[in-house]
Amino acid sequence: MEQVIFKKLFHRGNFQIGIVFRRNNEIVEKLKTIFSLWSKTHKCWYVKYSKENYQKLKVIFNDSEITIEKPEGTHTVLEPGLETHQENAPIESSNGIALQQLENDEHNSFIENEGLREEPTSLKATSPPNVLAKGILDIQESGLEKDQENAPVESNKGMAVQEIEIDGQNKEQAGLKAKFEVHPDIGKYWVLSLAYSRPISIAMLKIKGVYWSNNYKVYMIFRHVNVKNKVEALLGIKDLLPSNYYVNEQNDKFTAGEIIISVFLSGKKWMKVQLPEIAAIINQVKRLQGSKYNMDEMVYLLPATPGVLKNLAIIAEQFGIKVINELPNGYANTRNELNIKSIKLQEAAENLRKQVPASSEIYLTSMLDYLLANNYSHNTIRVYTSSFIQFLRHFGYKNPDDLSQNDVVKYLGKMMLKGLSASAGHSLVNALLFYYRNVLKRERFEIDLPRPKKEKKLPVVLTMAECFSVFAAIKNPKHKLLLLLAYGTGLRLSELTHLKWEDILWAEYKIHVKQAKGKKDRIVGLPHSIVVYLEHYRSLYPSAIWVFEGQYKDEPYSSRSVQAVMKRAITEAGLEKNATVHTLRHSFATHLLESGTDIRYIQQLLGHNSIQTTTIYTHLTSKAAKKIQSPLDNMAHQIVNKKKLE
């Protein structure tokens, strides 16, 4: 019997029911009939959270074994597997999560009793802000890049907190007594919290089978005798952990499991990867760039490159399993590396096709073909086709060619009444105009509706002092360098994460930004104050392609991770402004304007098409605002000084 997992998600501003199951086209078609969508973020299907939808899901999966996953915020704790690196966005899936199998009569209380009304809890960074050494930045070593360097875990009520003294060399390194707390077991893991000590933390995480849970700020220790002995030896305490070892040969990654890599006969640029039934490993492999699942052979396909082989070796080492490489010599080649743009376009197209029934896929495919043929960016493709899918769904996936122009206008009018933003309204109109004019060849197709007036919102800007406080709040050197470069160059987030070492012109103190927004190149300045630190950072990763690599080699840093870094820094700095990474770009432009830089130069540095876009910063300069005196203040000044009012 196939297993399906239902879980609560907070996605796109609302609670959803997440659905995790082995890919089945028949099931997918049924899910689409209840307007279920695919989430690239959570790697699962989801539908609006309601009793009605839950009942529909029970009917669709009536032949499957249904498991209800406990939501975050209840006593169920995530088992680690992806917790050792939190630099990429977390994946909420069935990887190693303790599940509670409910009986059929309990299924009906899914909505009421699973604790799903609780608001999602946000993690607050508890480490003290790091004062900027040497004025701006102090990069010491690459070992500072783990999120485990957060503050110690506060003990839970009712738990006995004990003290241990670190013996020998460890005591000299730590120079302190570490408090620890042993919590109840979670599945196949012992749970331990320790007062933070960097040497202890680094040593703990070098032990195979010890993982850091960033959600709960505890160490998850696999219940194995070898792991127990190593942890107790490190901490200098015998019988610290109980002897209730986990016994299950199938799932015990210390005694079973291997990654098998072999040739994919249908495409020489790909290799087959067979994985053990360990959810955490599967989810890490799914996150590798270009990873896809082959249903026919029930294996994962990955680009046959040396970089991917190294990443698989890293994953295997982390989980203590073997890699069996059956590839012939020379099969893995750098020529097989995938083009990032191609990957994004393929992923966008694949995710969009999943959102419509098979009978309506021809309409979406026709639009996708025209967008791709016209070399539109993957963002434009995503926006246009998402609007088009919404349009199809409204008319029950009818053939758009059978709809009259009046039908389209009525639909747009109804959507505008819902209070769409100006940008969403423009995207919707543009998407439909594109389809009817280009795909259906109705060249005279017009939509007689006034375009939504674009809102003129002033961007959030940080003062120079606020920028400094943000940088001072960041402890991780890599994260600090990211935000310093964002502020010092005014780069967009995507430009920052896709910056390569070859793009930095060291001798000229410049950065060559290639194929940025609008498919344009431009040159920006490289701040002199950061060059020494950037060179030192490069020495830590001499073989890297990207300036800021992601969790895996040869992959760029995740944009979402950078935003998370900024969000934590804003919280640590105690700022109440709703600032993002893009706020640093706004601050860059505003501070340049305040210092007297010509607005035309600022336009070029920012890569704006029109100077009208750049002029918005003239409304934000504090120095200019201080020179302007209100007529009321002028009147009051004249009265106080007993001057005759003019």
Residue of higher predicted confidence among 406 and 123: 406
Grade residue 160 by pLDDT with cuts at 50, 70 and 90.
very low
Name all domains of the chain by residue range, CATH numbers in brackets: 3-113 (no CATH), 153-235 (no CATH), 258-336 (3.40.1170.30), 340-439 (1.10.150.130), 464-620 (1.10.443.10)
Burial letters 603-625, b for 16+ CB under 10 A, else e: bebbbbeeeeebebbeebbeeee
172 vs 189, more confident: 189
Cα separations in angstroms, 639 against 27, 247, 627: 79, 88, 20
Indicate which residue of 492, 553, 568, 586 is catalytic.
Answer: 492
Comparing 40-44, 144-148, 305-309, the range with the smallest average pLDDT is 144-148
Count other C-beta atoms under 10 Å from residue 507's C-beta.
Answer: 5
Percentage of the chain lying above the pLDDT 70 cut: 76
Length of the chain: 646
Q: Residues 207-233: what's their mean pLDDT?
A: 85
C-alpha 554/C-alpha 551 separation (Å) is 9
**pLDDT above 70 for 454:** no
Of 7, 272, 498, 585, catalytic? 585
User: Could you give the CA distance from residue 131 to residue 133 in angstroms, rounded to a whole number?
Assistant: 6
pLDDT at res. 451: 60
For the segment 198-206, the average pLDDT, to the nearest whole number, is 85
Distance between CA atoms of residues 561 and 145, nearest Å: 13
pLDDT of residue 171 exceeding 60: no
Q: Which amino acid is at 212?
A: W
Mean pLDDT of 36-58: 87
Kindly give the pairing relationship between strand 3-11 and strand 65-69: parallel
Cα(208)–Cα(214) distance, integer angstroms: 17
| pLDDT tens digits, one per residue of 379-389 | 888 888 888 88
Tell whether the model's pLDDT for residue 163 goes beyond 50. Answer: no
For the segment 53-59, the average pLDDT, to the nearest whole number, is 90
pLDDT given at position 276: 85
Strands, DSSP E only, in 195-276? 210-213, 218-222, 258-263, 270-274
* Active-site annotation holds for 517: yes
Q: Summarize the confidence of residues 440-459 as an average pLDDT.
A: 71
Single-letter amino acid code for the residue at 263: V
Q: pLDDT of 293-318, one tens digit each?
A: 888 888 999 999 988 998 899 888 87
Determine whether 536 is an active site residue: no
* Residue 492 pLDDT grade (very low, low, confident, very high; cuts 50, 70, 90): very high
Cα separation of 391 and 69, whole Å? Answer: 34
| Nearby residues of 136 by Cβ (< 8 Å), 6 or more positions away | 471, 484, 529, 530, 533
Alpha-carbon distance of 250 to 646, in angstroms, equals 91
Could you tell me the CA-to-CA distances from 52 to 48, 59, 625 in Å, in that order? Answer: 9, 11, 55
| Choice between 490 and 120, residue whose per-residue pLDDT is larger | 490
In the set 58, 517, 536, 567, the catalytic residue is: 517
DSSP state of 206: T
What tens digit of pLDDT does each residue of 333-361 get? 888 887 666 766 777 777 777 788 888 88
**Mean pLDDT computed over 71-80:** 37
Task: Select the highest-mean-pLDDT range: 353-357, 374-378, 538-542, 598-602.
Answer: 598-602
Percentage of residues of the chain with pLDDT beyond 90: 16
Max mean pLDDT range (84-93, 253-262, 453-462, 602-611) = 602-611
617 belongs to the catalytic site: yes
Whether residue 608 lies in the annotated active site = yes
